[in-house]
Chain A
């Protein structure tokens, strides 16, 4: 079907085209359709006046201007193949029959100066392949009998079905002609029959355009709800910190705050654990999600009811129970059908790009508030899980109780209050997806309107995008910021009542070890308090001294920021045995100033970096540099560890005892030379027999077969020993070290 745009009163706007003109509201609707998705076999010619280009080439702003002009009556749209009489109350193109609801520019023009056939002439744009030449319309309208509603000669049938052939049931429809409008609902077969129509040209609409408004409104409401939740969470976090800070010191140490704050923090921490959990491919939750996805994918083309049935048969009850428990519900609360329905709605919701992005941002921000950690991206699967749980909360507990679901479910409670809104949004989205329109079809030619609904949306992939995304580094710019971050982390841990999950995966730790952390302002080092005050208050030095047999290197601030100021958590991450009776301090060291004022050398002690250190710094001390390379390998590390194992303490610490021990072991001169070389490297750098060579510390839970790494290390050497008085600026110099008291957190029994 082809249409012609005219400038009201402009070129081609003659009496002859008046019968072809459509009412402006229809014109806007047709043009919108044309612009948004094209119109099969249709074409709209621009006004014949100069200055308009083919609409296919028009910009979005030009298209909007055309829509506005059609709405206001400055432009009109005419049908080229028939007379619509869209601006008249009768099939007579005369001033007496003008509709009263026409826009002023059009009505005024017509009333004040009725167009004549002499103006302009036919509009011809023969350069278009699509547009037929303008036709001459009969100036005299055909005589039509007064229509009797429901008694007309025309009829049509509608059939709407899913890809599997089952009907799209209970969908509202509307049939409109120039003379009437008929509404109804598709039956259980997705079918309807309309008879007795008076208008020959019919527009058939499946679904209601009102769903557009509903989708917009619910989306807006949900996004606003997410913002409110974030604001509330920020306030709650601050309030909890205030309460904790106001506690007497002894209470802070004694209270099992996990019990006090458990409810408030559980969701956030649970979410974090969940993020880590689903990152592990072997995690049972992911396996269960895979099962859901599989069941969904297998039935993507199914109709509404058969999908539930198929899902029930594929998703066995044992799986349901495990999954329901995994997300925090009781299995008795939720049936497989509940899951199927909620899964469908949640999948629909995640197809909405705008809301899906908002949900992912929400989850990321929410986790960041809880953990003061920058997550680049947490991933769609987590957002999907939360929406799913919220829908289930609303379904199983009732819309009114969904918001109070917090005591019963873990992750889902975060969004439980929005469950009903999610439900409404998804239903509207579902209806919107089913909308279909056939416009202005000649009922003499087509009576059967049949269509197939789009397949269901794909299920959300349970792999969180976050899997390959490393959490952002925590990079304080000042000592004050660093201390605040530690205090914040402490409060979060206290509130949760348990230690945080590792910030980085093992793979990410290896990656950071390769990169180093020259980009970080602060590194930290654990110091036992007596060493800080050795030789007088703050007269101790950084170099002194770790527990026997254990090398304490430094690590970056980012590595321990989430561990707060608990010495036990920090020692565990650094692979050091925690001494309950000891008092620890954390020295935060400004790397740049350590270089400036102490010419500090700081490297991540990988095999490669330490080899380079010895070769670059001590070139003249060794006869055979190749030997350094030979002993700084995993193979020799095993030999070294074996030689040291069982070495008496006197031999280990005393060079004379060591020399005799090696002789007793029957080592060849070359083997002794290799040992001495490796030992010298330890003496120069601290790379002891536990040194891993990959720049990472093993945690105390490591075993020989299964090392678990806790943090990326930093080997740091100061050219001269500086006292803490000097480093902390107490002697009047620049402060480049801050000492933070470490207080154990009592997690209770």
Chain B
């Protein structure tokens, strides 16, 4: 069942963010080391944005390309709690139900999801991982939205569990809960 989509959120320039956008973290995906991901908070939303210079060869003039994901700020805590459910014994009452690979719930008025994927870490290396999904928003880049799949911010297991990404989410959640933003 498709979910109603919200209007596209303008993609910001992480190197020159508009006013009212607070950068709360900047982390590098170990599989995408050409540019980091910037975590911004704006109002009640958490934005994850990345901008990189793309130039395939010397004949290519190149250009900047950006991609962005938007979630209610409560997504950080919800993601941590939901991810834990994937690690419970399968028959635990709070575990992700048997046979399911995604959990979808309403968070601050938007339907979010956490999904297990075979190559979310890297399609090149076949690294599995998890995604944080916003079912009310389409994937989009600076070239515009792709109007079939919802937003799914994909993170490989190593990035999450060995390279500190999980701690970034914890930090954002705690700081938000402390009222820092």
Contact B90 A599 (CB under 8 A): yes
- Asked if residues A660 and B117 are in contact (CB atoms below 8 Å), the reply is no
Report whether A659 and B141 are in contact in the complex, using a CB–CB cutoff of 8 Å. Answer: yes
Contact of A660 among B63, B86, B87, B95 (CB under 8 A): B63
Beta-carbon contact of A617 and B148 below 8 Å: no
- Evaluate contact between A599 and B124: CB separation under 8 angstroms: no
Among A569-626, those with CB < 8 Å from B are: 596-599, 601, 617-624
Whole-angstrom distance between the Cβ of B34 and the nearest chain A Cβ: 7
Given contacts A551-B126, A650-B56, A655-B67, A676 and B139 within 8 Å (CB-CB): yes
The 8 Å CB contact of B123, one of A598, A599, A682, is A682
Interchain nearest-CB distance for A631 vs B (Å): 10
Does any Cβ of B come within 8 Å of A673's Cβ?
Answer: yes
Contact status A620-B86, CB under 8 Å: no
Task: Report the Cα distance A575→B123, complex, angstroms.
Answer: 18
A620-B157 contact given A543-B127, A659-B143, CB 8 Å threshold: no
Q: Which of B16-24, B39-47, B108-116 is near enough to bind chain A?
A: B108-116
Q: How far is the CA of A661 from the CA of B161 in the complex (A)?
A: 31
Would you call B65 and A623 a contact (CB within 8 A)? no
CA distance A680 to B57 in the complex (A): 26
Instruction: Find chain B residues with CB under 8 A from A655 CB.
Output: 67, 141
A651 to B65, CA, bound (A): 12
A544 at the interface (CB under 8 A from B): yes
Q: Mark interface residues in A687-706 (1 if CB within 8 Å of B CB, else 0).
A: 01000000000000000000
Is A652 engaged at the interface, CB distance under 8 Å to the other chain?
A: yes
Q: Is the C-beta of A112 less than 8 angstroms from some C-beta in chain B?
A: no
Chain A residues closer than 8 Å to B90, beta-carbon distance: 596-599, 719
Q: A545-B125, A648-B56 are known contacts. Are A686 and B50 too (CB-CB below 8 A)? A: no
A347 shortest CB reach to chain B, Å? 57
User: Smallest distance from the beta carbon of A709 to chain B beta carbons, Å?
Assistant: 21
Residue pair B101, A617 in contact (C-beta under 8 Å):
yes
- A372, B23: Cα distance in complex, Å: 64
B123 near A656: Cβ-Cβ < 8 Å? no
When chains A and B are docked, how far (Å) is the Cα of A679 from the Cα of B119? 11
Known: A543-B118, A648-B56. A721 touches B157 (CB 8 A): yes
Interface code B84-102, partner A: CB below 8 Å = 1, 0 otherwise?
0011011000011011111
Name, among A618, A623, A720, the residue most crowded by chain B CB atoms within 10 Å (CB to CB). Answer: A720
Whether, in the assembled complex, A279 has its beta carbon less than 8 Å from a beta carbon of chain B, the answer is no
Interface string of A202-214 (1 = CB under 8 A from B): 0000000000000
Residues of A within 8 A of B81 (CB): none
Q: Mark A648-666, 1 if CB is under 8 A from B, else 0.
A: 1111111111011101000
A683 and B117 contact, CB distance less than 8 A: yes
B31 located at the interface, meaning its Cβ lies under 8 Å from any Cβ of chain A in the complex: yes
Question: Within 8 Å of chain B (Cβ to Cβ): is A6?
Answer: no
Contact yes or no, B54 A660, CB < 8 A = yes
Known: A548-B124, A623-B148, A673-B147. A617 touches B100 (CB 8 A): yes
- Answer yes or no: B75 CB below 8 A from chain A CBs: no
C-alpha spacing A596/B95, complex, angstroms: 13
Q: Size range of the interface on B?
A: 35 or more
B123 touches A653 (CB 8 A): yes
Contact of A601 with B141 in the complex, beta carbons under 8 Å: no
A535 close to B162 (CB less than 8 A): yes
Q: Which of B57, B89, B127, B152 contacts A621 (CB 8 A)?
A: B152
> Known: A543-B118, A672-B146, A684-B118. Contact between A650 and B139, CB under 8 A?
no
A677 at interface, CB cutoff 8 A: yes
- Which B residues touch A673, using CB under 8 A? 146-148
Q: Encode contact with B along A30-68: 1 for CB under 8 Å, 0 otherwise.
A: 000000000000000000000000000000000000000
Determine if B149 is an interface residue (Cβ-Cβ < 8 Å). yes
Q: Would you call B127 and A652 a contact (CB within 8 A)?
A: no
Most chain B CB within a 10 A radius of its CB, from A544, A546, A627, A661 = A544
State A545–B98 Cα separation when bound (angstroms): 25
Min Cβ gap B24→A in Å is 21
Q: How far is B157's CA from A688's CA once the two chains are assembled, in angstroms?
A: 20
**Looking across the interface, which residue of chain A has its beta carbon closest to that of B120?**
A683
Residues of B within 8 A of A624 (CB): 2, 148
Q: Is B175 in the interface zone, CB < 8 Å from A?
A: no
Indicate whether A543 sits within 8 Å of B32 (C-beta atoms), given known contacts A621-B113, A623-B2. no
What 7 new A-B contacts, CB under 8 Å, besides A601-B101, A659-B65, A721-B157? A543-B128, A623-B150, A653-B31, A656-B67, A657-B52, A683-B154, A684-B119
Complex A-B, nearest 5 residue pairs according to Cβ-Cβ distance, in ascending order:
A543-B128, A599-B90, A656-B65, A686-B118, A659-B141
